[in-house]
Structure 1
């Protein structure tokens, strides 16, 4: 996800919980999967990313690069190559007229939040008074890692451009922001306060998550998020499952047109209603790709 708001939106990583593993859900530990069958003339590939990671933990294997080279199109959650992306993001940042952050928090929490941003982030929250609370959360999340995070999406896009592959998306910025709009702003504001008060816990949890991600253990990643101290289970359907289901017909159309490399957050891969299981239910062979 690009720049401050989408690229580093830690909430996409820490809040997703697991479902029960059944026949169609992936058992193997792999982030890279081959999509075949159902009359596809050439295979496509599916890769699970993590949206926030330090350069020391970042890697793109030769096997992954080789698979990308076999494709003609890179699909990300949103089309990060769209020249209108930043304008669309800017239009989607604000709450409706009359909604303000100070109305969503009690006065004590609002004062604490303002003081924390001034003292620890070096930012006055006044210009963000009408921004959706998730926007402030994305700024606060820069405090989770003691590094300048590296992006799998941007790196894959750079490689795709070198081989003249088109970059497309599974959803628009407006559609993605609508997902977060379905979570009441008051709930978003409370999550913002919770994160501010729990940064040491967030750092520990995320450190564990990165380690599990590096082992490519999809189900282990689910188990860890399920045990998270950041309670968001009630939003699992709208943030994860519903999006997976909307993506499947789009993925089917894309892979039928040309060999495609699809890269989405790793949390979307696992479980009975994950992208892998849903593709298998549609009749595709989805198998792990191992190698370095």
Structure 2
């Protein structure tokens, strides 16, 4: 079995799904309307950052909500001219440091062989990158068939309709979640994942099916069980970010009718965005088909 850190990284890289400790009864929908006295009507849409292309569909209710909004806000503003530069600045180890120094020769060989088999390029390409970048490569290489992205689709729609794009947090904030864990532990977990590849693939497929069903509480229940109630990991990867987003949502929606796209399970639970918005005084209602 993969340990809890691996599971957290899998979740964050692939889907940024968020879970909390107490389930709530929510309607089965990934789209929610946000209303309040001091804000313009906005929408909260739960995405899956990467999903098998065969399962990708953007429903009419989502398109309608998007069309009625003035601004697109994602977890990160990937359209910003400096985004790739910022990403690369966060993605690499300190100069003179290599991933190889954090593992023994047999572990390095295992990673090297896996990458060559799956991508045709070995560890020499990734030896100066932080482990989270390597994790994302391994995960994407492990999934059968082409993948689609709701974020990329929403960004293209925003471009075509001349909508601005903003972000709820910075790439430094997201990378900081990983940097809080020693590289040796991250690499140990990555190697463990490769040795148990069927389990991580099953996790991804299960999350995709739960996402398609739009049952955010079932997704919560699955992930809560899977994470074994690791409160510290949940707080760092998930809950703290949700809480940080609420004032940002308030700020954007005071000025614009905004369409928010965040990982789907950020929605559910006591520390989920839906409940936190309600605690902040906003009315959040499901948008059904």
Establish whether TM, by shorter chain, passes 0.5: yes
CA gap of 1:280–1:17, structure 2 versus 1, over 3 A, is: closer
Q: Displacement, 1:130?
A: 2.1
Deviations 1:164-210 (A, max 9, x none): 21110011222222222122212211221122112111122221111
Instruction: State how far apart, in whole Å, the 2-side matches of 1:32 and 1:16 are.
Output: 15
Match for residue 243 of structure 1 among 236, 241, 244: 241
Instruction: State how far apart, in whole Å, the 2-side matches of 1:245 and 1:53 are.
Output: 26
Tell whether the 8 Å contact from 1:15 to 1:233 is kept in structure 2 after alignment.
no
Deviations 1:79-114 (A, max 9, x none): 111011111111111122454322222332222222
Q: Displacement, 1:234?
A: 4.2
Deviations 1:114-152 (A, max 9, x none): 222223331121232221111111111122321221110
Deviations 1:195-227 (A, max 9, x none): 211211112222111111111111111222233
- Secondary structure of the 2:147 match is coil
Tell whether the 8 Å contact from 1:15 to 1:230 is kept in structure 2 after alignment.
no
- Secondary structure of the 2:32 match is strand
Q: Displacement, 1:28?
A: 1.5
The range that moved more, 88-97 or 27-36, is 88-97
Instruction: State how far apart, in whole Å, the 2-side matches of 1:54 and 1:17 are.
Output: 20
Match for residue 183 of structure 1 among 172, 181, 202: 181
- Secondary structure of the 1:193 match is helix
CA gap of 1:233–1:196, structure 2 versus 1, over 3 A, is: farther
Instruction: State how far apart, in whole Å, the 2-side matches of 1:85 and 1:150 are.
Output: 20
User: Hey, what does 2:162 align to over in structure 1?
Assistant: 164
4+ residue stretches of structure 1 with deviation over 4 A? 13-17, 229-234
The range that moved more, 147-156 or 253-262, is 147-156
Tell whether the 8 Å contact from 2:18 to 2:272 is kept in structure 1 after alignment.
no
Instruction: State how far apart, in whole Å, the 1-side matches of 2:240 and 2:254 are.
Output: 23
Q: May I ask how many residue pairs the two structures share in their alignment? A: 281
Q: Displacement, 1:232?
A: 7.0
The range that moved more, 232-241 or 171-180, is 232-241
Q: Displacement, 1:288?
A: 0.5
Q: Displacement, 1:45?
A: 0.2
Q: CA RMSD for the aligned pairs?
A: 2.3
Instruction: State how far apart, in whole Å, the 1-side matches of 2:15 and 2:47 are.
Output: 13
Deviations 1:44-75 (A, max 9, x none): 00000011111210111111111111110000
Tell whether the 8 Å contact from 1:35 to 1:286 is kept in structure 2 after alignment.
yes
CA gap of 1:186–1:102, structure 2 versus 1, over 3 A, is: same
The range that moved more, 98-107 or 282-291, is 98-107
TM-score using structure 2 length: 0.89
Tell whether the 8 Å contact from 1:33 to 1:47 is kept in structure 2 after alignment.
yes
Match for residue 206 of structure 1 among 204, 207, 210: 204
User: Hey, what does 2:47 align to over in structure 1?
Assistant: 49
1:34-113 → structure 2 map (5 Å cutoff):
34-40=33-39, 42-113=40-111
Instruction: State how far apart, in whole Å, the 2-side matches of 1:125 and 1:227 are.
Output: 34
- Secondary structure of the 2:69 match is coil
Tell whether the 8 Å contact from 1:269 to 1:275 is kept in structure 2 after alignment.
yes
Q: Displacement, 1:274?
A: 0.8
User: Hey, what does 1:5 align to over in structure 2?
Assistant: none
The range that moved more, 129-138 or 231-240, is 231-240
User: Hey, what does 1:258 align to over in structure 2?
Assistant: 256
1:173 aligns with 2:171: yes
Tell whether the 8 Å contact from 1:94 to 1:130 is kept in structure 2 after alignment.
yes
Unpaired segments ≥5 residues, structure 2 = 1-8
Instruction: State how far apart, in whole Å, the 2-side matches of 1:176 and 1:47 are.
Output: 20
